[in-house]
Amino acid sequence: NGNRDNSRGALIVLEGLDRSGKTSQSTRLLSYLEQQGFSVESWRFPDRSTCVGEMISSYLANKSQLDDRTIHLLFSANRWEKRSLMEMKLRSGTTLLVDRYSYSGVAFSSAKGLDVEWCKGPEMGLLAPDLVLYLNIPPEKAAERGGYGGERYEQLEFQRKVAQHYKMLCDATWKIIDASLPMEDVEKQLREFVMDCIATCQIGKPLSQLWL
Ligand code: 2DT
């Protein structure tokens, strides 16, 4: 498509509590962008398909126990093992919609009591998202949606803490969306932010790194 050298895809992250609607919204966004003719892929972290991902998955299912710092570093390693592929895709013009990223990493681990700065350390140098879509929902309301699975972090009291820790990570790349609105309204807002972001990356916004 006659790309200028520095034209690229956008790195777009969805964050939010469990049951905030991230996964449904990212599926909808994916098909919308495909229909519009964009090159786009949907990713998620943890990526449970790798060796590291299997260790994480077993921990989340309560099938193994790990020290809080150890699991934190595994979540981070799981992003590092995807970093070069991520950069290659973005530079080749593909937009990535990523369900959870370093913000989940820091929010969940610091909600357990780990130091925020310590938690950010291993994330430094990962690719920084161009846009973070935070699906904001009161923890009580998310819990009412039901269907918390049996995984380790899926408890109201803990989700409340995670919500507080997420808020400390909000920066200029974040858009906070009211996720208690009807799905169609949320979707409409997300589309606008995403289209805007893709356009700025197409005209050559440079890639940057997290928290350096
Ligand atoms: P899913 O239910 O979305 O698969 O997430 N988590 C996730 C962390 O604690 N640290 C991280 O770095 C990431 C990406 C959030 C599984 C759970 O894992 C938590 C929920």
42 Cβ inside 6 Å of ligand 1 = no
Per-residue pLDDT reduced to its tens digit, 158-175 = 999 999 999 999 999 999
Pairing verdict, β 40-44 and 11-16:
unpaired
| ipTM metric | 0.99
Predicted local distance difference test score (pLDDT) of residue 2: 47
Mean pLDDT of 35-59: 98
CA distance 159 to 152: 11
Interval between CA 7 and ligand 1 midpoint (Å): 31
Give yes or no for residue 1 having a pLDDT over 50.
no
CA distance 126 to 208: 9
* Tally of CB atoms within 10 A around 100: 22
The CATH architecture of the domain made up of 11-202 is 3-Layer(aba) Sandwich (3.40)
Contacts of 191 (CB under 8 A, 6+ apart): 29, 32
Give yes or no for residue 74 having a pLDDT over 90.
yes
Interval between CA 1 and ligand 1 midpoint (Å): 36
* Tally of CB atoms within 10 A around 16: 26
In the predicted model, what is the mean pLDDT of the chain? 96
Interval between CA 180 and ligand 1 midpoint (Å): 21
174 Cβ inside 6 Å of ligand 1 = no
CA distance 178 to 99: 17
100 Cβ inside 6 Å of ligand 1 = yes
To test ligand 1's pocket by mutation, which of 80, 100, 135 has the most ligand atoms within 8 angstroms of CB?
100
Per-residue pLDDT reduced to its tens digit, 126-185 = 999 999 999 999 999 999 987 787 899 999 999 999 999 999 999 999 999 999 999 999
Q: Per the confidence metrics, is the pTM higher than 0.80?
A: yes
